[in-house]
Structures are given as structure tokens and as C-alpha cells.
Structure 1
Amino acid sequence: MTSDDAAPGDPEILRYAAFATDPAGGNPAGVVLDAGGLSTERMLAVAAAVGYSETAFLTADPAGGYAVRYFSPLAEVPFCGHATVASAVALAERVGPGEYLYRTAAGEVPVEVTEDPAGGLRATLTSVEPHVTEAGAADVAEALALLGWAPEDLDPALPPRVAYAGARHLVLAAATRERLARLDYDFDGLAAHMTARDLTTVQLVWRAAPDVFHVRDPFPVGGVVEDPATGAAAAAFGAYLRELEPAAPAVLTLHQGEDLGRPGLLRVDLRSAAPRVRVSGAAVAIP
């Protein structure tokens, strides 16, 4: 429902595309700017009805900032980057650009919204403190089998790791763009594998240039085959690359959603926020 068809007492549900300037691109997110009084069950029902990979629910905090919860159609998730960007732009359109503090289940996430010189608004989130851990060989082998990938499909220069910047992601790097473009996996099997290991997405990447990557994110644990543009995974990937390559470029450009027909653009900044990672992008209302 939207503000035009909401029943009395129902929350106003906004829809925004994050990491895009075209409503047909990027990753759609539901946004509820006033979630005060909504129960967990009601938030989950709203997210399921919206049907996007995540919906953000904001409640103004008397101490300042906003308490924010994120729900996929199936479950609550601790943090979601694209719904953060979408909700921050929606908020700024109503109260003005500036700095906001989001209090999430993963921790405090500062978000700054500025006017983009090219038009529209751009939001930049600063992740919680990230960390990167080894991915067990058996776990990687099982994940590859569920994806239908062979070990030789991986780029040996970018080894598998589990990266966290508010949510856990298994990072797997494809050796070729063609391998990344082919995504046909065991949905139920991968969902079970990820649930058992507390993984939010699998971050599939292909390096096009030292500072440019194409990425895809299977998200079966959220009831979605693929997330079109994933800010939380982008932050985790930034932490992964900075740890793997201390001399990595200071700013990364991630292209996501092209294989879904929803192109999105994510900027990952590894400079002054260390050890945290900044992720930025545009967002636009979906009519």
C-alpha cells in the first residue's frame, strides 16, 4: 500500500530504488518513516506484502537519531545497506539533507545525505566496524557445488573469505565475467547452507579493473533469488579487499544489477573511515 491506499492506522509505505537515479534501476526498498507502535509481526507482514528484498522501518529516537529495523519478506536482518540509502534519501526529501544517526541491530550507522551535483540526492553510510575471517575449505566446496561452480571458476588472486560490515557475506570471486553472468543455483540448498552459517548473502564478484568490480548477491535466506544492489555486502567487500590488498585503490566502483536488467552503481570509500567503510549511492522514488 501507499499513502493513497492506506487504511486508517496503517503505516505509510514508500518505495525507493537505491543506488540508481532511474526508478527502473538499482535495488527497490520499502520505507516506513514512522514505525512507532508497529509490532515485529506487523513489520514482517508489511515487508512480506511489499515483497522487496528489504523494507526499512524508522522510529525517531527522543535522544536523537532513528531506531531502524530491516525486514526481508521472510525474516528480520541486522542491517541493510540499500534500504539505509533509500530511507535516508526519503527522509532528506522531507526534512532536508544533512547527517542522521541510525541505531540498528548491528550498531550505530552514521548516514549523510547531500545534494548530488548531477541532480537528486546521494546518501553515504559509514558501516559498523568490519572484520574478515577465513572461509573453511569444506564450506567453500559446498557453496560452490550449490552454485554450480567448479573450483577452477574462482579467481585465485581473490581467495574466498567471510566478510562482515553489519551482516555476514561469503565472498567468492569469479575468474571471468561469463562465469559471473551465469547464475542458476540450488535455491533451497543454498538457503539452508547460508542459514546454518549465519550468512546474509553470497557476494559474487568479478574484477574488471583494479578499482572496478561487477558483483551479484544471491539472497535465498531472504526469500529472494538475487539482490539487485547490496550496500551491506559492498561495505563488507571493501573491508575484504583492504585486508587482502593493503595498497588497494582508495575508492572502488561496484556495478550490480546489470544481469537483472536493474543496473545500479555503488561507490565504496576506503579512505578516512578506517577501519569502517563508507558506501554511497543515489536513490529515487518509485512512482
Structure 2
Amino acid sequence: MQVLRYAAFTADPVGGNPAGVVLDATGVDDVTMQATAAEIGYSETAFLVPLEEQGTGAFAIRYFSPRAEVSFCGHATIATAVAHAERHGVGALRLHTQAGPVTVTTRTSEDGPVVATLVSVAPSSVPIPDLVLAELLAALRWSGGELASTLPPRAAYAGAWHPVIAAASRERLADLDYDFTALADLMAREGWATVDLVHRESPTVYHARNPFPPGGVVEDPATGAAAAAFGGYLRELGLVTPPTSLTVHQGRDMGRPSSITVSVPEEPGSGIAVSGSAVQL
């Protein structure tokens, strides 16, 4: 089993979110996948298994954090698609994830790097109960007065669940000092993958930070699944006018700058497109 290492949502190895990638995990059992992900230590490692009976480009894919399997991971999907394209050529991959079918297309950009675009499963969002929100803010060590009134707290989904919590200021977002154990316990109870902390710079530009204690990771430098869920959240609440393209900057406050492009189509309930490049480490 060959394990590749890629940083997603960047063209520079010092940026982006690192992911492990196994392009052929045929015959590899769950215990080995989990042990491999723990040994690599990245927030996720993706394991691809060709589905030859379904034709070229069809794969089952599974994602493991150092601690547990997750239903869907955006940055590892982008990394996997770029790694596959660099070895087998650009095109489309049909991925069977635990969250549902995800299509990823790759192309060679004008300046050289391969760019991958995934289309998420149907997004949705739900309110966060007041008591749960209070517990979440306490774990984050945030106060209600530090929240942006224009982006209401809500749990959003596009393959995995992420509470969206918007900071009124960029300074509040930059100051991340949360209770790791309390947040991990809350997220495990609620079934949340990461917490999507965001700040709106403009109608099309956002900054994000994503604590990931359930995976044993303090913070994700780039979270494609959360970006897709956020795009669906904005459309569902009428906070953007689709079709539109958004840029999410993430990882800057932890020294691994990442750039995620989120395309929000007009049709309600349709999947959100997330695009980015990746570079081998």
C-alpha cells in the first residue's frame, strides 16, 4: 500500500491542509486504514478502491482521521483527485462516499497546477438549540455579543455536519483559544465534524477557522466539507444571490494559508461545488 502526502487548497507546500492519499486500497481492512491514518497524523487520510464493475472512474472512498472514520472530507477528496490526475490524466471521478455520491472533475489550469472541483451531496441546515449554542460558545470561550448578527448560528450539512458560528470581527476569529476537551465532548454528542468559525469580509469573501477536536486535531487549515456546507447555508438562508462564486480563506492564522473556491448554484437543494489545487509533499 503506497501512501502519498498532498496539501490541498494550495499550490505551495507550506500552505493548505495536508492529507494522506492511498490511490488503491483494495483488500485493506478497517483496522489497517485506521492505523495508517493515525501513523500519518494528518487530519484525514483517504483510501480509494476501484469499482471496476462500474466502469472507469468509479471508486469507493473512505476517510479516516487519526482517531476515527469520517463520512466525508473535502480537502482529502481534492488531494485524491489531483494525485489521481497527475498519474492517470485529468477527467472525472465518481466517488462513492458514506455520505453519498460525489463527482470530482480535474483540469489543468492556465498556470500549470491541476485544479479539482467536487460537487457535494445535497446540503441542508438546521437551527442550533439555545442550550446547545450556549454550551458551544462556552467551550469556544466566546460571548454572544461577539457574534455577527447577519450570519445566524446554524448547523450546516453537505456530507458532514458543521455548526456555523460567525464572528463580528476578524480579531475575534484570529483569537482562537478553546476548551479542547469540552468542545470534543460536545461535538461527539451532537455528531459534528468540525466547527465552522467564519467572518465575512465582503459578500463574496470569507475567512474561516475549523476546530477539529473529534479527530484529535486542534484546527484544520482548510476544510472543503465545511466550505460546501457553508455555501448551502448561505443559499438556504437567502444570504447570497445564486449563482455566485465565493472565496474562503482559511489557515492564515495558523501559518498554512489556504484558498477555497465555493460555487453556489441557483437550484435549491443542488450540490455545492468546491474547487482548489493540491501539491505533493
The residue number in structure 2 matching 1:42 is 32
- 3-state SS of the aligned residue for 2:249? strand
Q: How does 1:1-287 map to 2 (within 5 A)?
A: 11-62=1-52, 63-64=54-55, 65-245=58-238, 247-248=240-241, 250-271=244-265, 275-286=270-281
Q: Under a length normalisation based on structure 2, what TM-score does the superposition of the two structures give?
A: 0.97
8 Å Cα contact 2:75-2:225 kept in structure 1: yes
| Letter aligned with residue 254 of structure 1 | V
Q: CA deviation at 1:271?
A: 2.2
Native 8 Å contact 2:72 2:225 kept in 1: yes
5+ residue gaps, structure 2: none
User: What is the percentage of aligned positions where both structures have the same residue?
Assistant: 55
Structure 1: which 5+ residue stretches go unaligned?
Answer: 1-10
Deviations 1:173-229 (A, max 9, x none): 000000000001110110000000000000000000110000000000000000100
CA distance in 2, matches of 1:103, 1:89: 17
- AA at the equivalent of 1:92: A
**Contact kept? 2:203, 2:240, Cα under 8 Å:** no
Contact 1:126–1:273 under 8 Å retained in 2 = no
Equivalent residue for 1:5? none
After superposing on structure 2, the runs of 4+ consecutive aligned residues of structure 1 that deviate more than 3 Å are 246-249
**TM-score, normalization by structure 1:** 0.95
How far off its partner does 1:273 sit? 6.8
Change (3 A) 1:273 1:265: farther
Q: How far apart, CA to CA, are the structure 1 residues paired with 2:144 and 2:116?
A: 37
User: How far did residue 158 of structure 1 move?
Assistant: 0.5
Say if 1:234 and 1:268, in contact at 8 Å, map to a contact too: yes
Residues 71, 97 of structure 2: 8 Å contact kept: yes
The 1:40/1:195 distance shift into structure 2, 3 A limit, reads same
1:111 Cα deviation from its structure 2 partner? 0.2
Amino acid at match of 2:218: V
Structure 1, residues 102-145: CA drift from partner, whole Å, max 9, x if none?
Answer: 10000000000001112110000000011111111111110000
Could you tell me how far apart the structure 1 residues matched to 2:73 and 2:40 are? 16
Q: How many residues align?
A: 276
CA distance in 1, matches of 2:103, 2:36: 26
User: Could you tell me how far apart the structure 2 residues matched to 1:216 and 1:58 are?
Assistant: 28
Conserved? CA contact 2:17–2:256, under 8 Å = yes
The residue type equivalent to 1:51 in the other structure is: G
Aligned residue type for 2:276: G
How large is the Cα RMSD of the aligned pairs?
1.0
